[in-house]
Amino acid sequence: MFGFGVGEMAAVTGVITTLKSLNDSLATVKEAGANASQLTGLVTKYASLDKEIRDLERNKSGVLSVEAATQLRLAKRTQMNFENSLKDSLLMAGLGSEWRAIMDSVQQSRESHEREIAKLKIKKRQRQKLMKEVGLYVTIGSICIIFAIGGLWLWVEVFR
């Protein structure tokens, strides 16, 4: 049940690195004075990071190691903190309408992502159920064949 190892940690580490660079960029923009073009660039990077996190979740669909799942949870928390800081910066720069438009599209994307993840989990459960049923049928069939062969052997040996 526990994940794939090196590849998943590399993906989560990449997300965390991107988050750190976004936080550093936001701090730089805040210190130098909020410039609308710089904030827009941060919003674009934030949207791509959000998509990257969702893609990582979708690709692994619940099959992460404990360490990777913990790192992903921390990345999501850091992402939420960055989102709040970015919101504050955009509102201070007078770009509140831009923030609302961006967050509407991000929210729609998140909702569709959650629906997709739910569908993947349902398919996974159905696949597991099917595999259990197939295993049960194969076991029952094997037992029946063993008894039939045993009965045939008994018939030939005893009634010969």
Residue 137 domain flag: no
Tens of pLDDT, residue by residue over 18-57, are 777 766 776 666 655 555 566 667 777 777 777 777 777 7
- How many angstroms separate the CA atoms of 127 and 26, rounded? 45
Per-residue confidence (pLDDT) for residue 98, from 0 to 100: 74
Taking each continuous run of H as one helix and of E as one strand, the counts in the chain are 4, 0
Residue 127 domain flag: no
Please determine, for residue 4, whether its predicted confidence score (pLDDT) is greater than 60: no
Please determine, for residue 6, whether its predicted confidence score (pLDDT) is greater than 70: no
Number of domains in the chain: 1
Whether the CB-CB separation of 89 and 34 falls below 8 Å is answered with: yes
Of 116, 119, 22, nearest in space to 78 by CA: 22
Per-residue confidence (pLDDT) for residue 1, from 0 to 100: 40
Residue 147 domain flag: no
Per-residue confidence (pLDDT) for residue 61, from 0 to 100: 57
Residue 61 domain flag: yes
Residue 104 domain flag: yes
Residue 34 domain flag: yes
Per-residue confidence (pLDDT) for residue 126, from 0 to 100: 96
Tens of pLDDT, residue by residue over 111-128, are 888 898 889 889 999 999
Give the global pTM: 0.51
Residue 15 domain flag: yes
Please determine, for residue 60, whether its predicted confidence score (pLDDT) is greater than 90: no
Q: What does pLDDT average to over the chain?
A: 77
Phi, psi of 65 (to 5 degrees): -70, 165
In a 13 Å sphere around the CA of 148, the CA atoms on its Cβ side amount to 6
